[in-house]
Amino acid sequence: MESSKTKASEAAGEDEANADVDNMKKTMEYLFGPFRFIPARRTLHCGDVPQRIGSRAFDILTILVERPSEPVSKRELINRVWPTTVVEDGNLKVHVSALRRTLGEFEEGSNYIATIIGRGYCFVGPVQANKIAAERQLRLFKTG
């Protein structure tokens, strides 16, 4: 009986830790090149200009930017971006290509997303991750 209580409390502790990580990610902004990316707001700006980006491409960018310099497999990207839909690698390639066009329009020769042949993709540009203070989040929310 004791071991099941211990396992339950460990699981609860892991859930709380995961919730803390999720909450921290929700309050993060990522800066790279001329871009400011705020996943919780679903916004990407180049300087002060908002950029149009499709929802799937946005989800792919979020996954890659949160793990800079770390290869992410095609399978993981597909499972996270299309969790309830069966899709092929071609769908992923189309959205990564659109994302590259959006990110590449502003800096000649900039390369933010590398293809790891046979494995997946990796965000290779330098990324600065900043926690957004609560009062700044409120201001960003109000100014939309």
- Domain boundaries along the sequence of the chain: 34-126
Q: Which of 104, 102, 113 is nearest to 52 (CA)?
A: 102
Token pair recorded at residue 144: 């939309």
Q: What is the mean pLDDT of residues 111-128?
A: 92
CB atoms within 10 A of CB 6: 10
Three-class DSSP labels, 52-98: CCCHHHHHHHHHHHCCCCCCEEHHHHHHHHCCCCCCCHHHHHHHHHH
pTM above 0.85, yes or no: no
- Confidence at 20, pLDDT banded by 50, 70, 90: very low
Percent of the chain scoring above 90 in pLDDT: 62
Residue 17's pLDDT is 46
**CATH 1.20.1260.10 applies to domain 34-126:** no
CA distance 51 to 101: 11
Residue 108's pLDDT is 60
Chain CA centroid to CA 87, Å: 20
Token pair recorded at residue 34: 């001329």
* Average model confidence (pLDDT) across the chain: 81
